[in-house]
Amino acid sequence: MSPSRRTVRIGTRNSPMALAQVDRVQAMLTDRYPDIAVEVVSMATSGDRWHGDLAALGGKGAFTKEVDAALIDGHVDVAVHCVKDIPGDRPAPAGTVLAAYLTRDDVRDCLVHPGGLPIGELPAGTRIGTSAVRRVAQMALHWPHLTPVPIRGNANTRLAKLDAGEYDALLLAVSGLHRIGHARRITHPIDVDTMVPAVGSGTLVLQCRDDDTATLELVAGLGDPRAWAETVAERTMLHILQGNCHSPIGALARTEPDGRLHLRARVIGLDGKDVLDVHEWHTDPLTLGTSVAAALLRQGARELLSQ
């Protein structure tokens, strides 16, 4: 495709991290298609404006629905989302498609501690800022002497609250801190076998209208087949389990040297006492995600998640 003097409108949240992500997409588009112009349309979402429990807004969809609406209404041509912000218990909004998964960034969680201590050396009662139930449950499993404390706001806001002494440490995503230029704040990247990442960690996806052939062709070349396969395997598992932002579910798919996919998934009770782990391999991401979800259900995932 050779677009000529076309303007592509990219919709995004207006948080610093979201805008940094759009800068990456804009650079990829203009590098591949020098003749196009890119217009960034940023907006505050209900999730950004609300400072209470996300459950009152329907969970993670609170961070995507305004951008999705702008896409559906034709005000933007492409929406840029972090995959882990997209609800996993329901499909993409009608009339849209997740068109291109970008090359995956670091998937790990990390500790940010002003004193530079790794998480295993923190004293009992250390207040760790996090609102992710997946992290809270895995803290209870590995470090039950630490105290998770709810926190809201974007990564910059959370770092400011840490610096103000409202928390003793934070759990954040490694990729997010890199994107906003705060990689130096990372104290301890946590191994993925200890803290299993969120579904879609480290992956950005470009969403388009399913009838916008020109834009679909434009963004298709930006996608990474490995990121697509890994993320689809994880999200298939999550969808079958009907997981959402209040579900203590972690998963990580990796492409093996022989081309097969490996998916490791964990469902864990919030007190850390009940842990379900499944590891499987397959060549097809949909089959793999389905098989892993079925194995978790046989182990009692539905009952554990209902708690």
Cα separation, 289 vs 303, whole angstroms: 19
Q: Which one from 85, 109, 168, 212 is the annotated catalytic residue?
A: 85
Residue given tokens 């209470």 in the structure block: 52
Cα separation, 156 vs 177, whole angstroms: 9
Active site residue 77: no
CA angle 98, 106, 54 (to 5 degrees): 60
Nearest-10 crossing angle of helices 16-32, 155-163: 140
Using the 8-state DSSP alphabet, how is residue 92 labeled?
A: S
Cα separation, 123 vs 220, whole angstroms: 49
Cα separation, 73 vs 203, whole angstroms: 25
C-alpha distance across the termini of the chain, in Å: 51
Cα separation, 241 vs 294, whole angstroms: 9
What are the strands, taking DSSP E only, across 221-260? 249-255
CA angle 150, 153, 156 (to 5 degrees): 120
Radius of gyration, alpha carbons of the chain: 19
Burial of 31 (0-12, 13-18, 19+ CB in 10 A): exposed
Using the 8-state DSSP alphabet, how is residue 119 labeled?
A: G
Cα separation, 92 vs 70, whole angstroms: 14
Catalytic (active-site) positions: 85
